Amino acid sequence: MSITPQVQRPKWLRAPAPAGENYRDLKELIGRLRLHTVCESAACPNVGECWNQRTATFMILGNVCTRRCGFCAVEKGAPLPVDYDEPRRVGEAVEAMGLKFAVVTSVNRDDRPDGGAELFALVIRAIRERAPGCGVEVLTPDFQGSHAAVETVMEAAPNVFNHNTETVPRLYRQVRLGARYERSLDVLAYAKRLAPGIPTKSGLMLGLGETLEETLGVMRDLRAHGVDVLTIGQYLRPSPRHLPIVRYVAPEEFAELGRAGREMGFGHVESGPLVRSSYHAAEAVKA
């Protein structure tokens, strides 16, 4: 497998502009219920596609993060007060959208002893109450390695437990300030030990300066820690204040990494330039 650096944004890396009736309806609903989505807060390139299919990733615990990761567009600073009515509103939104599968993530809340795990559990239960047939995937922070926090989330029985490793260990200090690679692996492994029947999932961004062998090494580590589903996508710089793109990864390399992941034993791999953590989340669980 070869690596060919590309210094300019390639023509094939294009996402459709957000538009359409479903997009407008969902934007109005999210605004009316005073909710946040990672689709908007993190400037996801797939917001048009996903919202027109009436799917969204809810971001709980506010839209201000306590960490300053170099890749992320979410606002950083002093955290907002916890809104204990938020789970009810998320449940209402899921019911109104008629979702069959919902993804719930959050900002980092290092100000909270449990890292926000309590709110994840409350949201899972609120969704189940309002939309009993809806599956729920949680995309959690690392909770600063707290096993008790992971237990709180897993006791609410999400359909998928997702925590992103994001990049290779060598780049953690630049990319994931405040995180530790081994801690992220431990969070994933502990969730699997608590509930072996619940799929675990993780994701990687490429284009930040990692090597092919480093990427494959992370993939092997994830499998060794029981991870079932893997997403691999291209890092896209949100603004000039964020980390620069070192290279654009060709679609052919993404395809080869997908094949390598399946050979390693992942139950499902989504690998492509515009793939993000919750991209085709429901399809991944079915697979």
Return the structure tokens found at 254. 């993404």
Instruction: Tell me how far apart the alpha carbons of residues 81 and 79 are, in angstroms, rounded to a whole number.
Output: 7
Highest mean predicted confidence (pLDDT) among 30-39, 51-60, 186-195: 186-195
Taking residues 261-271, what's their average pLDDT? 97
Model pLDDT, residue 57: 81
Please state which of the ranges 34-38, 41-45, 178-182 shows the lowest mean pLDDT: 41-45
| Among candidate residues 219, 227, 149, the one with its CA nearest the CA of residue 192 | 227
Taking residues 255-281, what's their average pLDDT? 90
**Banded pLDDT at 2 (limits 50, 70, 90):** very low
For 241, how many CA atoms within 13 A lie in the half-sphere containing its CB?
7
> Which domains occur in the chain, in start order?
21-286 (3.20.20.70)
Instruction: Tell me how far apart the alpha carbons of residues 211 and 87 are, in angstroms, rounded to a whole number.
Output: 41
Dihedral of alpha carbons 234, 239, 240, 243, sign? negative
Query: Which helix (H) or strand (E) is 191 found in, with range?
Result: helix 181-194
Model pLDDT, residue 219: 98
Which one has a higher pLDDT value, 175 or 122? 122
| pLDDT mean across residues, the chain | 85
Instruction: Tell me how far apart the alpha carbons of residues 142 and 97 are, in angstroms, rounded to a whole number.
Output: 29
Cβ atoms of residues 275 and 233 within 8 Å: yes
Model pLDDT, residue 4: 44
Model pLDDT, residue 172: 92
17 three-state secondary structure: coil
pLDDT at position 136 over 80:
yes
pLDDT at position 259 over 70:
yes
| Among candidate residues 200, 120, 119, the one with its CA nearest the CA of residue 165 | 200
Q: What is the dihedral of CA 39, 40, 45, 51, to 10 degrees?
A: 60
- pTM given for the model: 0.87
**Banded pLDDT at 42 (limits 50, 70, 90):** very low
163 CB contacts (<8 Å, ≥6 apart)?
A: 139, 140, 141, 142, 184, 187, 188, 191, 200, 201, 202
CA angle 239, 245, 250 (to 5 degrees): 130
**Banded pLDDT at 210 (limits 50, 70, 90):** very high
Taking residues 157-178, what's their average pLDDT? 93
- pLDDT over 70 percentage in the chain: 80
What is residue 166's DSSP assignment? B
Model pLDDT, residue 15: 59
What is residue 208's DSSP assignment? S
| N- to C-terminal Cα separation, the chain | 26
| pLDDT tens figures, 73-118 | 667 788 888 999 999 999 999 998 888 888 999 988 999 999 999 9
The beta strands (E) that lie in 77-170 are given as 101-106, 135-139, 160-162
Instruction: Tell me how far apart the alpha carbons of residues 179 and 67 are, in angstroms, rounded to a whole number.
Output: 9
Model pLDDT, residue 107: 86
Rounded to 5 degrees, φ, ψ at 247 are -160, 155
